């Protein structure tokens, strides 16, 4: 017996319906089990059975029924329009019995692959059907008998009058092929059409002949009779033709709806595969990829729930990684559950699918397939599953996980078609997961290479160890604050890691020199930016990393054109280079160097503010301070609090402007004498005490519309008989506290724009 798949599930389904109609007491499930046929396979119209399966099934049916002509009776049972609805869809709304019989080869092609049929018209009401057998598929007698029954069903289906089906030649009686002749009598509509064709000439000639004998009798008797007969025949024939046309339109509508449904099904499946491919193509993070796949499956597939399990690196357990449709409680339970693979207890659905790399369909969880114990389905039974399927996620012949979907008891049962679709999806997911893992591995290796390159520079001088890493962290923080894209931030990250790689060309004697560099040595150090760009260009960065050499080479350019190596101005410097410049400046001034110690945070803060006036981009500096405040709140507070600032000479600028002081809810108005980055002197006759906390509001002469507000503390008094400074009017000196960054920027711009007058 052949193991080739020759019989479509619709033939088996037809036999089952015939048996259910004729022998309702017989348990068909036992007969199906004998042949290894499941109910879901029968329900799937795209499933095909082997000759071995079908022959075992047919013999079991014949033994149970005792019918010698079982196949012919089953074929005759197909005369029921409800039972053999497939004929209507395949006949494509045939308008005549002749066209219906000519469509029979298409019907047979959808039912069996072992034989092809040819239809030939021998006469107006005679059609010959012959068989062409495939060399690899031997015919069985029941195949011939079923065709006989099918032909009889078609003659009955199309109401062929006095139809006869003859079988003069049979393959099983020594002939080369099976040959069938189908004869039938013309239909009433056809007979009336023929009669009308004969009556019309008589209707024309008879009144003329009668008029030669008796014109009056011909006019009032013969002419009305012939015309009436002709009209009556035409009316009846038209009515019959109209009924046939209505029936054809109904067939066409039914066929069209079925085709549209199939087209929609195929279209949705194509959309699903395309959407999963698009979703996974741009995902490099495994978790993001799995979540996207789960969301796409939930949106596109008619499954109630689904989950993706992946094997751990040691390939010993399966872990839940993503899912859809599950109650949060159940999902939390799944996330903490593992499936052991290295133990060999009784068969288990998940373990068996993973190890065999073959999908398993459980059409009914209450009646699992043979070899699968009900205990392995307890989780699905308790959570309301009706049917489920489990497919391996494979790539290159290796299982990497499982895709499990199910339908609840209120939904439909899953079929073999669902299993095939899910297996195809699992293969796509497997390839996508493999690509994501390869990209992750390549990214990890790429990062390792970058770290090694950066470490080679830091290793030359232990004092600068970690400089590149810190500059990179600062640069990424600035990118986030500026809202730059992920791709650009990644390019800045790589450029920041390698921005000093050109120092490999600077001699150690200069790079580690403890004293002040000579002008010649300074020029040699400055070449490192250009060397970085040139060396990185040799690496061949591409894609989102294409701009890395340019960013690394421009990180010492300044807004006012005083930078190097090219002396670029504001608009010509890439934003990435401006970001690295700010990060590099702050890290350098706050770190230990051979020629100086680390700058105190408050001094570094002020230096950064001063640099932002003309050399560093103020917007980038603002973004850095926002990032630093979030990432290092304690250090940021130490930089900005007045009491944390060390004593340092500051430029005092003469400035006469109104100052409003709020003291314990009371308002005091004075006039300033001078102002600096540290504080302001307020000329006032009001009596205040030293150490008094107050709030200040004032404006600077260069921007009278910008009201500046800050906190302050009275630190010295110029009152009484012995004033502290005779040149100052009566009043008090206020030290700024909690100075907002915006106020500090205005003060720095104002003091920078004025020529320094006095120091103290």
pTM for this entry: 0.50
Q: How far is it, in rounded angstroms, from Cα 202 to Cα 224?
A: 13
Looking at residue 136, its pLDDT comes to 61
Q: Which helix (H) or strand (E) holds 568?
A: none
- Residues with Cβ within 8 Å of 79's Cβ and at least 6 positions away in sequence, in order, are 152, 153, 156, 157
pLDDT digits (tens, 9 = 90+) for 591-650: 887 666 788 888 888 888 888 878 899 999 999 999 999 998 888 888 876 434 444 446
* Mean pLDDT value of segment 84-91: 44
pLDDT digits (tens, 9 = 90+) for 666-697: 889 899 988 888 899 999 988 888 889 999 99
pLDDT digits (tens, 9 = 90+) for 197-213: 777 777 777 777 777 77
Q: How far is it, in rounded angstroms, from Cα 541 to Cα 557?
A: 22
Task: Give the relative orientation of helices 141-157 and 70-77 as an angle to the nearest 10 degrees.
Answer: 30
pLDDT digits (tens, 9 = 90+) for 231-280: 887 787 788 778 767 766 775 576 566 667 667 766 776 777 677 767 66
pLDDT class of 217 with cuts at 50, 70, 90: confident
Q: Which of these, 323, 287, 332, 329, lies nearest to 305 by C-alpha position?
A: 323
Q: How far is it, in rounded angstroms, from Cα 519 to Cα 458?
A: 24
Cis-peptide, bond into residue 565, ω within 30° of zero: yes
Statement: residue 548 has pLDDT above 90: yes
The residue among 209 and 154 whose pLDDT is bigger is 209
Looking at residue 254, its pLDDT comes to 64
pLDDT digits (tens, 9 = 90+) for 433-451: 888 788 878 888 888 888 8
* Mean pLDDT value of segment 216-232: 76
State how far the alpha carbon of 702 is from the alpha carbons of 401, 676, 707, 747, in Å.
Answer: 69, 15, 12, 10
Looking at residue 689, its pLDDT comes to 87
CB 362 within 8 A of CB 368: yes
CB atoms under 10 Å from CB of 424, counted, come to: 14
Looking at residue 252, its pLDDT comes to 59
CB 489 within 8 A of CB 480: yes
Strands laid side by side in the 398-408 sheet: 338-340, 317-324, 305-311, 398-408, 385-395, 360-362
Mean pLDDT of the residues in the chain: 80
Looking at residue 265, its pLDDT comes to 66
Instruction: Spell out where 495-637 has E strands.
Output: none
Would you give the DSSP letter of residue 219? I
Q: How far is it, in rounded angstroms, from Cα 307 to Cα 384?
A: 15
- Residues with Cβ within 8 Å of 116's Cβ and at least 6 positions away in sequence, in order, are 105, 108, 109, 131, 132, 133, 134
Q: How far is it, in rounded angstroms, from Cα 523 to Cα 507?
A: 12
Q: Tell me which of 41-50, 88-97, 168-177, 544-553 is least confident.
A: 88-97
């Amino acid at each position: 017996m052949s193991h080739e798949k020759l019989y479509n599930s619709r033939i088996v389904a037809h036999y089952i319906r015939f048996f259910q109609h004729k022998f309702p007491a017989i348990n068909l499930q036992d007969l199906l089990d004998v042949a290894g046929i499941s109910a879901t396979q029968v329900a799937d119209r795209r499933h095909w059975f082997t000759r071995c399966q079908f022959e075992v099934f047919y013999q079991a049916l014949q033994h149970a029924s005792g019918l010698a002509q079982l196949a012919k009776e089953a074929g005759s049972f197909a005369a029921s329009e409800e039972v053999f609805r497939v004929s209507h869809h395949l006949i494509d709304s045939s308008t005549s019995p002749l066209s219906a019989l000519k469509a029979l080869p298409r019907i047979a092609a959808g039912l069996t692959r072992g034989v092809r049929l040819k239809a030939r018209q021998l006469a107006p009401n005679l059609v010959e059907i012959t068989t062409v057998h495939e060399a690899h598929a031997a015919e069985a007698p029941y195949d011939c008998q079923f065709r006989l029954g099918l032909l009889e069903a078609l003659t009955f289906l199309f109401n062929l009058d006095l139809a006869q089906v003859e079988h003069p030649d049979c393959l099983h009686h020594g002939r080369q092929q099976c040959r069938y002749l189908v004869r039938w009598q013309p239909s009433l509509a056809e007979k009336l059409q023929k009669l009308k064709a004969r009556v019309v000439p008589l209707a024309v000639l008879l009144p003329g002949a009668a008029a030669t004998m008796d014109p009056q009798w011909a006019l009032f008797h013969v002419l009305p009779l012939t015309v009436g007969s002709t009209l009556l025949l035409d009316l009846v024939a038209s009515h019959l033709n109209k009924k046939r046309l209505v029936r054809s339109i109904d067939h066409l509508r039914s066929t069209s709806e079925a085709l549209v449904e199939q087209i929609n099904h195929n279209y949705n499946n194509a959309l699903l595969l395309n959407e999963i491919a698009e979703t996974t193509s741009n995902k490099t993070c495994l978790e993001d990829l799995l979540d996207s796949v789960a969301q796409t499956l939930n949106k596109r597939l008619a499954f109630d729930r689904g989950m993706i399990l992946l094997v751990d690196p040691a390939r010993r357990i399966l872990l839940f990684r993503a899912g859809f449709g599950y109650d949060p409680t159940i999902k939390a339970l799944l996330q903490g559950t593992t499936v052991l693979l290295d133990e060999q207890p009784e068969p288990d659905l998940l373990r068996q699918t993973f190890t065999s790399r073959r999908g398993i369909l459980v059409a009914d969880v209450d009646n699992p397939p043979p070899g699968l114990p009900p205990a392995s389905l307890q989780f699905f039974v308790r959570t309301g599953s009706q049917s489920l399927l489990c497919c391996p996620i494979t790539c290159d012949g290796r299982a990497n996980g499982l895709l499990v979907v199910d339908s609840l008891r209120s939904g439909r049962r899953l079929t073999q078609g669902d299993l095939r679709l899910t297996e195809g999806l699992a293969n796509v997911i497997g390839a996508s997961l493999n690509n994501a893992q390869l990209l992750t591995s390549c990214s990890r290796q790429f990062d390792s290479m970058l770290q090694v390159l950066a470490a080679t520079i830091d290793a030359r001088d232990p004092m600068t160890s970690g400089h590149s890493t810190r500059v990179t962290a600062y640069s990424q923080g600035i990118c986030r604050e500026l809202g730059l894209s992920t791709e650009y931030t990644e390019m800045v990250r790589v450029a920041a890691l390698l921005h000093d790689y050109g120092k490999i060309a600077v001699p150690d004697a200069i790079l580690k020199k403890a004293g002040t560099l000579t002008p010649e040595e300074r020029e040699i150090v400055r070449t490192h930016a250009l060397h970085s760009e040139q060396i990185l260009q040799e690496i061949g960065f591409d894609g989102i990393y294409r701009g890395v050499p340019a960013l690394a080479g421009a990180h010492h350019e300044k807004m006012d054109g005083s930078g190097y190596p090219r002396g670029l101005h504001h608009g010509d410097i890439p934003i990435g280079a401006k970001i690295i410049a700010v990060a590099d400046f702050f890290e350098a001034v706050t770190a230990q160097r051979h020629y100086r110690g680390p700058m105190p945070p408050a001094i570094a803060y002020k230096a950064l503010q001063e640099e932002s006036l003309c050399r560093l981009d103020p917007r980038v500096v603002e973004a850095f301070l926002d990032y630093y405040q979030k990432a290092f709140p304690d250090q940021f507070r130490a930089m900005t609090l007045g009491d944390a600032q060390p004593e340092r000479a500051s430029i005092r600028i003469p400035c006469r402007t109104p100052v409003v002081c709020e003291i314990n809810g009371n308002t005091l108005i004075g006039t300033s004498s001078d102002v600096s980055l540290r504080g302001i002197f307020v000329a006032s006759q009001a009596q205040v005490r030293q150490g008094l906390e107050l709030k200040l509001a004032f404006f600077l002469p260069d921007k009278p519309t910008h009201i500046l507000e800050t906190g302050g503390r009275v630190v010295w008094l110029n009152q009484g008989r012995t004033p502290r400074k005779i040149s100052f009017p009566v009043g008090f000196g206020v030290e700024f506290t909690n100075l907002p960054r915006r106020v500090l920027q205005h003060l720095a711009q104002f003091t920078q724009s004025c020529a320094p007058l006095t120091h103290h």
